[in-house]
Amino acid sequence: MDRYWLITWTCYGTWLPGDRRGFVSHVRDESGALVIHNVPGTPYDADMPALRAYARSQMTGPPVMLVQRDADALIEQYEETARIRRWQLQAASVMVNHTHLVVGVPDDPDPQSILELMKSWATRAVKKLRPLPANGTFWTAKGSKRKLPDQRSVRDAVIYVVRKQPKPLAVWYAPQWQAALDEYDKARRAEPR
């Protein structure tokens, strides 16, 4: 594969811009220009109550939460979509309010097209289990696309997706990552408590 991406999107209304947990979205800097803080390993924005209140006021329906059967269907769909596209799914996780994918792609396609395609097929998978919400979507409008420039960053992203997510409903990873995950687990067990 020529390029690897960490793709993330959230469920509608569950992780709004301005959230105190942190968020990746456009904000205005000191000069008033729109910026986005989404470089891995660098600080991101957090806890902007006015922005969060504005985002909540714009919602057209209640927040969407995923359940176990949704998560299982999403993982299956991610695998199928990657296989059909001849991409390499490296890892995926689904939580109640968001999902992460690490995917390798040939050439250098626009990452927005990768995100949109995965979200589109994810929608189809969940619609087989329950109706589309009244607001017309399960997902937020955008998502995060982080380029993984080398194998170390791909490894770190796989560990992040597979081991560092809070209470995942479903997790999947390519078998070649087992040794790296075992090494990570061993290092965590050796850490002082």
**Beta partners for 77?**
none
Is 31 part of a structural domain of the chain?
no
Is 32 part of a structural domain of the chain?
no
Supply the pTM of this predicted model. Answer: 0.88
User: In b/e form, how buried is each residue of 29-67, taking b as 16+ CB within 10 angstroms?
Assistant: eeeeeeeebbeeeeeebeebeebbeebeeeeeeeebebe
Closest CA to 141 of 11, 24, 45, 1: 11
Model confidence at 48: pLDDT above 70? yes
What confidence tens digit (pLDDT) does each residue in 173-184 have? Answer: 999 999 999 999
Model confidence at 137: pLDDT above 90? yes
Range of the domain at 165: 3-12+63-190
Structural domain count, the chain: 1
Residue 69's contacts (CB-CB under 8 Å, 6 or more residues apart) are: 129
Is 29 part of a structural domain of the chain?
no
Residue 166 sits in a domain of what CATH number? Answer: 3.30.70.1290
